[in-house]
Amino acid sequence: MSRPCVALVTDPTSPEGCGDVLAEAVQQLTGRPPVRIDSRHFATGGTGRGIRSGDGERLRLVVPGHRIDVEPDVVVLYEIPPHRRHTLAAFQRALHRHDVVTLGTGTTAWRTATEKNLTVERFQRDGIAHMETSVLSRPSSQEAAAAFGKLGGDVWARPVIGTGGYDTFHVTDLDRLEYVSGFYAERGTDWMLSRDAGNITADGMRHQFRVFVLHGEVVHAREHLQPEPDQPCNTSQGATAVFIEPADLDPRLTDLAVAATTSIGLPFAGVDLAIEHGGVVFEVNVQPAFIPGELPKAAVPYIEAHLSALDARRA
């Protein structure tokens, strides 16, 4: 049987570099590089087209003027910046309609995970443990102060749609709250306040966990240790990651990460959570970024899941 053709559809404007890691995983597993395609061709207003192949059994991806004309066995859709994901909904529906082998067609799940206000609503519906949160949309100073007070005066502010912790702030006084409120107002961004989880180690470091869940099982995990407790606990913001074998992860975190991923409806996700308060979820990442060392631990299993689905289809 010929080696499968994998189309890797990513957004090259993303700084995370996940596309390169996934391309290496595809090369390792199939013995051939993927066909790299800029996702923006298939976004709203793009020139890319998905049409039936000549035999009517496969989807053909064509981008006029860019010498892209391919009939992939598998489509890997990844590394799409949060603010651009909604523009790919029609493409995702086309992949689903043509029964393409991919893990990237869940438009509702993508939106629920990307828009954090919807994440909170889903967690409330399904009983997923999380810190108390208030969603704010162009609030007055009085409204913001009331939400701040209700949450105990020690909160984290973050945009409804954001990434990497760049627009996330620890707020413990009204002056800081005023600055944050103005920051989001200038950008016309809806935002949220969540009660601080108190996720501080004995030596004063902020910490949290990222757990990678694939088809209901934990395939990889890491603990993030942030020496600046007022900064987001993201590796992009200076936190150090310590890998954890899935078997060594606290069972409470395993169960909670799987439950959160199931609640959102994603086949693959990176769940951010803390062990404090018995275990609470901060967010579910549709396309978690890979850091050095995660090619075999996360990227390869993700591609393997696509290839396994292809094998099942052929069988």
Q: pLDDT tens digits for 283-296?
A: 999 999 999 999 99
45 token code pair? 């207003």
DSSP letter, residue 239 = P
Distance of CA 129 to the CA centre of its chain: 19
What global pTM score does this model have? 0.95
Model confidence pLDDT, tens digit, residues 198-232? 999 999 999 999 999 999 999 999 999 999 999 99
User: Looking at residues 243-269, what average pLDDT do you find?
Assistant: 98
Structure tokens at 209: 């966990």
Please report, as a single letter, which amino acid is at residue 226.
Q
| pLDDT exceeds 90 at position 269 | yes
> What's the whole-number average pLDDT of the chain?
95
**Which residues lie closer than 8 Å to 99 by C-beta, 6 or more apart?**
none
Average pLDDT over residues 261-285: 97
With cut-offs at 50, 70 and 90, classify the pLDDT of residue 162.
confident
Convert the pLDDT of each residue in 118-137 to its tens digit: 999 999 999 999 999 999 99
Exposed e or buried b per residue across 132-148, where buried means at least 16 C-beta atoms within 10 angstroms of its C-beta: ebbbbeebeeeebbebb
